[in-house]
Structure 1
């Protein structure tokens, strides 16, 4: 049996694109960085360092070789504390090569969106992410992969419709 690539390997195997649609108002509230930020918003200085955030190093690596990484967030206003935390971290993601946009949920009401957050790699593989109601990764299995063409088309169209309406990070100010 052939072992599936890890999530990190999927990024390293990407040839031209990796897009991410996030639609929750909170994630991983047990994250020590989030907890620290709640007590001291100035505590995020280390979060800008690729040494302390391996995600940033990975994004630099793949965007430097020409892979376009885009992230779109659909969210409720006023913004949750967790998304305010993410908004504060986003400039580091952008510095590492990601493009990020924000779409207030009330501007997405007429868009057909999948039921779960996902990553779409090279317009050919969708990785759905499953979370508990509290925003933690699901213990029953946190991801589901599919290359089913109809699902890939749905996710690609959903992402692009959000991306067209969303506000670039540099222009969005949390409400």
Structure 2
């Protein structure tokens, strides 16, 4: 499959091209949701929001051959919002911030490194129990709660609430750092 051609055909309204994209990338997007432990009844909504983002902004996609990566990032962001409780409804606007910008490609590695460093700093500021839980869930996404409970000596019933608090705190720490960086560069 020539991805760039399929994306261009979908952009031109070819229904078959859209079906091809959904068949090719749908399973990968479901896997993203599974890694976030999104409840099955929510996965469909997040998939729909992701495809709607692509549909509404496909004419602005600058690298059609990278549509798979774009879809995965978009789905991850919707999943993260669902997990942290932010934006219970999936927005369908604001796609421009996720589209590659002209001249941004050479900086992509640097940006990724800065983001990773920011996450590491925020994780280091979490209480140890929350940090260990997030680490377990990130490094073994298929582990069952019973396994995590045994590894961390944590009651099964405490895993979900601790995870929610940890992700909420991590989000706040990252937002605080982003604001501080933004104001420092003004």
Q: TM bucket by the smaller chain?
A: 0.3 to 0.5
Return the index of the structure with the highest Cα Rg: 2
More helix by share: 2
Give the structure-2-normalised TM-score.
0.32
More strand by share: 1
- The structure with higher relative contact order (CA 8 Å, sep 6+) is 1
